[in-house]
Structures are given as C-alpha cells and as structure tokens.
A and B are shown apart, each in its own frame.
Chain A
C-alpha cells in the first residue's frame, strides 16, 4: 500500500544551521505531496505542497522538491531559527478516489540558540 517514511528524530541543530529532513514515499500512482508542521500544543499546519513531479513547494524559507525518480520530497531550510522547533510531517494524497492524507511518522526538530 501507499506509505510515507521520514527520517527518525529528533534532529538537533544550532541556530542558523542548514536543515534537511528526508522523506520518501511509496505510491501506486502520482500523488500530491505535503509537509505539515506541528508546534508544541497545537494542531498540524500546512507548510508547503507540490502536486506534480519537479514542482517545488516553498513557504517561510522552507522548500521541498517533488522527485519522482527517487520518490522523495525532502524538506530543506537554509538557516533555521529557534522558532522552527516543531514536529514536521510529510504526507501524500491522491486526487482520485480519495483525497485522504497518508502521513509519515513525523520528525522532531530542536533548534538550540
């Protein structure tokens, strides 16, 4: 079945460091891909998305490129801040039968000053 796999956390970085959180997926078709972020005590918020191969989603300095050849959607940010500390979820969905989101297990990011 379709699934999403993220790198295990926690990822601990110093402020202004470069961030990469890996995400790979298994899908029978051509899904859309998403990154969601969950700040402490909050629900999930959509961070960015890409709907087809080679699309790049970007928001708040974060970006991810839909790589069909490697079935990946890695999240990157050039310079992280303490306020970026959160749990990041990669997800996929289809436009066909069901639009339900399939999530990865989440990756915790801790940014230290």
Chain B
C-alpha cells in the first residue's frame, strides 16, 4: 500500500470517551504531521514529528496526545474532548521536516464529538 492511510475515516465519540486516530505511511518519509481542519478556518498545524521525535507542538490542549512509535506510524490519542474539537483531522508526511518538500496527506478522519 502506498501513500498516507488514516483510520478510521469517521469517528463519533462522547466527551468522556477515549479513542485514537491512526496514520500510516509507506513512503519512506522521515517527518509526519497532524493538522486540524475546521470549517471556514485555516488548517491548523498541531504536531510535527521527525524521526519519531516530536519537534513541534503548537499549543495544543493536553486532551490531544500524539504518539510516534516509528517513522511509519503516527497516532493521535483523544480523551475528554469538547464539541468544538469536532473537525477533520489530517495526517501528512514529508521526506524531511526541514526543507521545501511537499507534503503527502491522508484522506483524514472526520471526528464528531457529541
């Protein structure tokens, strides 16, 4: 399988639930990213991982917890979310995190918090 694969495609969760989003890439890329896409707002960069090390965390609330066990996999663990966290969560990868490399995006996970 090629490209960036995200699972699940859709997720509905209650505010007290704990769930995880998964991202997988088989492109040999060293950098992976989580973005949040909300309606009528610019894409918000949440986390950047380079070679499994977190290199950027853009003031994301602690109810979002990323994990990068290896350079091919990235997770976003969710707990006690709020309705305003409902959005499309996009994972991306690039060859390196420093440089003008284009990103390859997954199709996203549509999250609804009820």
Contacts and interface: CB of A to CB of B under 8 A. Distances in A.
B43 A89 contact: yes
Interface in B30-75: 31, 33, 40-43, 45, 48, 56
Interface residues of A, number: 26
Nearest to A104: B42
Contacts of B42: 4, 103-106
A89 B90 CA distance: 14
A58 interface: no
Main secondary structure of the interface of A (DSSP, over half): loop
Main secondary structure of the interface of B (DSSP, over half): loop
A96 B90 contact: no
A94 B102 CA distance: 11
Contact of A45 (B41, B100, B105): B105
Interface in A1-53: 4, 32, 34, 36, 41-46, 49, 51
Contacts of A78: none
